[in-house]
Amino acid sequence: MLNNDTICALATANGMGAIAVIRISGPEAISKVAQIYQSKFNATKSLNEASSHTIHLGYVMDGDTIVDEALFSIFKNPHSYTGEDVVEISTHGSIYIQQKVLELLNKIGIRNANPGEYTFRAFWNGKMDLTQAEAVADLIASDSKASHEIAIKQMRGGFSNQIKDLREQMINFAALMELELDFSEEDVEFADRSQFYNLLNQLQSILKRLADSFAFGNVIKNGVPVAIVGAPNAGKSTLLNALLNEERAIVSDIEGTTRDTIEETIYIDGVGFRFIDTAGIREAGDSIERIGIEKTFEKIDNATIIIYLYDANITADNQIANQLDDLQRRGKILFNVANKIDVNNNESSISDAIKQEFKDVVHLEISAKDHYNIEALKENLIHQIKLKGSNQDDTIVTNSRHLEALQNTLSQIGKIKQGMDMGLPGDLLAMDIREALTYLGHITGEIDVDQDILGTIFGKFCIGK
Ligand code: GDP
């Protein structure tokens, strides 16, 4: 990616809108745009004399022809998003005007930007580190309150600040150990080994917590997967419909009609829940059903929450206990939900024995058909996720690239500790430390990151960002 030319792109969404913003960034941004600018009030005024962070009302001119009346915002290097000179032209939102202005800019020698090129320049010019640049992409893509919060936090540098801090402490130790080499004759230890060992332990626990937050972070980012499981005719499709409040899943009286899995997302308190209605768990006769059942187990493994649903009128305690026992072993948040309690006039159904035996399970009685206790079910779902979230560190890792770097650093730290236990000399230890530092640096981009990786990260952006 080139950095020394001037680029332009539409920054607002494609298509017609009230206004459109065209962004120009690069060393010639101001002088080039000045060529097509004419002040509305003072024909001799030039953008070249404009101060940073000022807005100017004027015309976009194509020779003698007025293309549009627009606002020209000036941001001067380094005080702009990209760290370069930036002009933003806010025009009227017609598609014709947008295209005409971009054409004009091309004509005076400003190139169209590649996807993510503005943010790449911001990274390159030290305006933000890689995790922050990635958060910008997440922010644009965020579709729920929860994923938005994580992206904002990351963009403000929470995650990378922690990493930077730890890296600095490691660098100090590596430097001290390398210094010992210069005095190898004298057998001195500048780097206090037990202090260093403490730092490693501390690092290990912080990195591990960050790595562990990935599973939860991803769940929040992509929606919490919830699997609804239970025997055929338990009312799984009806429950899904009740949750979605519309007839989406197929409801029928013939056992085993929900052959495939259906997935729908609902938002509760700003968190997305992906509900998966699955084929019933039972011995399957025909092979199509079999596939459905295999999928059920796959979905259970991928789910964060399992709702075990059964017909309260025909299911015995020992059957319920067996299912809960089996599902509980999978280490998920488990709901035990008795359905169809309308048949028995909403009489309480779940026995005290079951509640006693499965204390960690959320027990609820509902009627999917009458929508009885559906709100309570939703409230419990969000409550459980918030409980899980409150056990997490403030910082949540949502990016698999970060996870990989964290895991690499962790195993490298394991190696350093092993080396220290074996009494390895400082020069060998220092090498291992340097390697760990490289992995840590990959996260924030402080160490040269492979061009391919940069290409992938910034290629995912839309043009104009
Ligand atoms: P699935 O096989 O588990 O998906 O079950 P369905 O949702 O297809 O429901 C099977 C049958 O049970 C249908 O006739 C539903 O109308 C009925 N049903 C589902 N929920 C309730 C409920 O809460 N009360 C009553 N009385 N019937 C229900």
Alpha helices by DSSP H, 14-68 = 29-35
DSSP 332: S
CA of 105 to the centre of ligand 1 (A): 63
- Return the pLDDT at 6: 95
Taking CA atoms only, the protein residue closest to ligand 1 atom 17 is 235
pLDDT of residue 402: 77
Closest by alpha carbon to 25, among 3, 47, 44, 40? 3
Which residue has its alpha carbon closest to ligand 1 atom 10?
Answer: 233
- pLDDT of 286 above 50: no
Residue nearest atom 26 in ligand 1 by C-alpha distance = 340
pLDDT in tens, 7-30: 999 998 877 788 999 999 999 999
* pLDDT over threshold 50, residue 247: no
- Report, as an integer, the average pLDDT of 251-262: 49
Q: What pLDDT does residue 310 have?
A: 95
Give the per-residue pLDDT at 366. Answer: 96
Q: From ligand 1's centre to the CA of 311, what distance in Å?
A: 8
Lowest mean pLDDT among 13-27, 126-140, 280-294, 345-359: 280-294
Nearest alpha carbon, ligand 1 atom 15: 235
Residue 42 predicted with pLDDT over 60: yes
CB 190, CB 179: distance < 8 Å: yes
| Position 335 pLDDT exceeds 70 | yes
| Average pLDDT of span 81-88 | 94
**Interval 182-208: pLDDT, tens:** 666 666 666 678 888 888 888 888 888
Instruction: Name the closest-CA residue to atom 25, ligand 1.
Output: 340
> What's the pLDDT score for residue 433?
87
Q: Residue 455: its pLDDT value, please?
A: 64
Query: What is the reported pLDDT for 214?
Result: 77
Query: 384 CA distance to ligand 1 centroid (A)?
Result: 26
Ligand 1 pocket: which residues have CB below 6 Å? 230, 232-238, 251-253, 258, 280, 339-340, 342-343, 367-369
pLDDT tens, residue by residue, 357-402: 999 999 999 999 999 999 999 999 988 887 776 555 566 676 777 7
Whether the per-residue pLDDT at 307 is higher than 70: the answer is yes
Looking at mean pLDDT, say which of 124-138, 189-203, 411-425 comes out highest.
411-425
pLDDT bucket at 252, cuts 50 / 70 / 90:
very low
* pLDDT beyond 90 at 156: no
Q: Do residues 416 and 207 make contact, with C-beta atoms less than 8 angstroms apart?
A: no
The pLDDT > 70 percentage for the chain reads 78
pLDDT at residue 283, as a whole number: 41
The one-character DSSP state at 279 is: -
What's the pLDDT tens digit per position in 339-358? 999 998 878 789 999 999 99
Q: What is the mean pLDDT of the chain?
A: 81
The response to whether 254 counts as a known ligand-binding position is yes
Question: Given pLDDT bands bounded at 50, 70 and 90, which one contains residue 107?
Answer: very high
- Distance, in Å, from the CA atom of 80 to the CA atom of 368, rounded to the nearest integer, reads 54
Task: Report the atom number in ligand 1 closest to the C-alpha of 252.
Answer: 8
- Helices assigned H by DSSP within 422-450: 426-444
Beta strands across the sheet bearing 37-39: 37-39, 54-62, 65-75, 86-92, 19-25, 7-10, 111-112
Q: How much of the chain exceeds pLDDT 90, in percent?
A: 37
Question: Mean pLDDT, to the nearest integer, of 431-458?
Answer: 72
C-alpha 329 – ligand 1 centre gap (Å): 27
CA dist 164 and 162 (Å) reads 6
- Residue 258 is assigned to a ligand binding site: yes
